[in-house]
Amino acid sequence: MAINTKIKIFNFFPYECEAAGEYLNNMARNGWILKSIKGSILIFKRDKSKTVRYTVDILHKVSEFDCKDSNEALEYRDYCEAAGWEFVGQRGKVQIFYTEDTENTLDIHTDEKEKFKSVFKASLYNALAHVVLIGTWLFYIYIELFLGSPDYTLSHNFGLLNVLMMMLLVLIFGVEVVGFITWSIRANRNLKVNKVMKYNNYKQIRIKRSLPLAIALITLISMICNTSDMPIVTTLIITFIPIIGILITRLFINKKRYSRNVNIVITLFGILISTVLVMSIVGRGIGRAIINIDNNKPENHVELSLTDFGYKETANSNPYTSFNESILAERLVYFSDDKEHDLSYTIFESKYPMIVEFNADRLVKTLNKLNVREYKSKLPSGVKVYAFNESKSFILVSGNKMIDARNNFTDMDDEKFLSIVYNKLFKE
């Protein structure tokens, strides 16, 4: 049974309109005619009887917040149809036309300078939006890895995959912005000396278009490895809520045909609702994860307790423990309080010493306001010790392990406390 419909995903910047036109013409030569466009989704129908030529034009006068068939767009389409071009569909400022008179129909734009201005203005909007998104993702990465100790993120596969996904998004969108800047400089230089303005062709952007597949792959891996942090269903909901919100908002704008200012308000309201829903689901997921951790105390991972310091674990001490492990590191948090004595510490361990050093460095810099200083202990030289809070809180770093512990015992000096911690957690 022959397939008569093809659905393709093809995303491009306005300055890559020539590459998009080349792609559509290649599809047409193979018997696939574009029937409609929905955002980045192109729908083709098989029809070998037609010989058509496409052109992808940019109408910078319309806004991303205008409805699909705004007055400016309709007026421009009438102009193009009078010149022999039939309208197929649009995506924001992008207008796609075709003609069956492939030999005699003239190009829509004949003035290179005017075309450059139109394409540049339309692309600049997208580039600025990309810069805002890149800044948002970089801020997220900064919070997760550099603002405070990153031990929680490094010891959770879900956290690591989220950071990796953000880095890939920064790379992909950064390539888009750099590509636009490079093109605009070269095109402007050519126009000044009356040379033909060059656009990216399909071959040039095909490799770049393969990068988003990495995001899909990382998302899939994140869902598979996410069973201990947040359910797969929750992850899917979080992923698709913004997409569904955008689609619903866009459909509503196109149907009601409000003014541009009203559409901006509607769009912002839709983004706000999607954000609230995502934050609510994430909050509930984190809450359930915390409850599950508390209900399943990993006692088999506890290596240091009150008994190691000469105190008895009483029935009412009720120690709290949580253990997490990722492909890079593992983290154990322990706290025990019997109303007379209490012990609290965090063990961060990795088979990669550089990960431990990075985590220790971030923690020390975060605690600088508490006058963190290197502590000259009697421990072996291979163990670096930092002290803060009047020498009652310590950070011990050696090789692939870091301990953040507090000496809350009033009848025990710091050297004895450090010696017990070292002998139990480092020496054994």
Tokens representing residue 356 in the block: 């431990």
Please check whether residue 50 is in contact with residue 88, taking contact to mean a CB–CB distance below 8 angstroms. no
Cα angle at 296 between 290 and 299, to 5 degrees? Answer: 120
Query: Alpha-carbon distance 255 to 248, whole Å?
Result: 11
> Among 296, 320, 304, which Cα is nearest to 428's?
304
| Residue the block writes with tokens 């029937």 | 35
- The amino acid occupying position 169 is L
In sequence order, what are the residues at sequence separation of 6 or more whose Cβ sits closer than 8 angstroms to the Cβ of residue 389?
370, 406
Separation of alpha carbons 133 and 137, rounded Å: 6
One pLDDT digit (tens) per residue for the chain, 428 residues: 467 899 888 888 888 888 888 899 999 999 999 998 887 889 999 988 788 899 888 887 777 677 777 888 888 888 888 888 899 988 888 889 999 887 777 777 667 788 888 888 888 888 988 898 899 889 989 999 998 889 999 998 878 877 887 888 888 889 889 988 988 888 888 887 776 666 667 776 776 666 666 666 666 665 555 544 455 555 556 666 776 777 777 677 767 767 767 777 877 777 778 777 766 766 665 555 555 544 445 556 678 888 888 887 665 566 788 888 888 999 999 988 777 778 899 999 999 999 999 999 999 988 887 788 899 888 998 899 999 877 789 999 998 999 999 998 888 889 999 999 999 988 75
How far are the Cα atoms of 34, 40, 394 from residue 37, in angstroms, in the given order?
8, 7, 61
Of the candidates 44, 112, 51, 67, which has an alpha carbon nearest to the alpha carbon of residue 267? Answer: 67
Burial class (CB in 10 A: 0-12, 13-18, 19+), 287: exposed
Residue-range domain boundaries for the chain: 5-99, 110-227, 230-296, 299-427
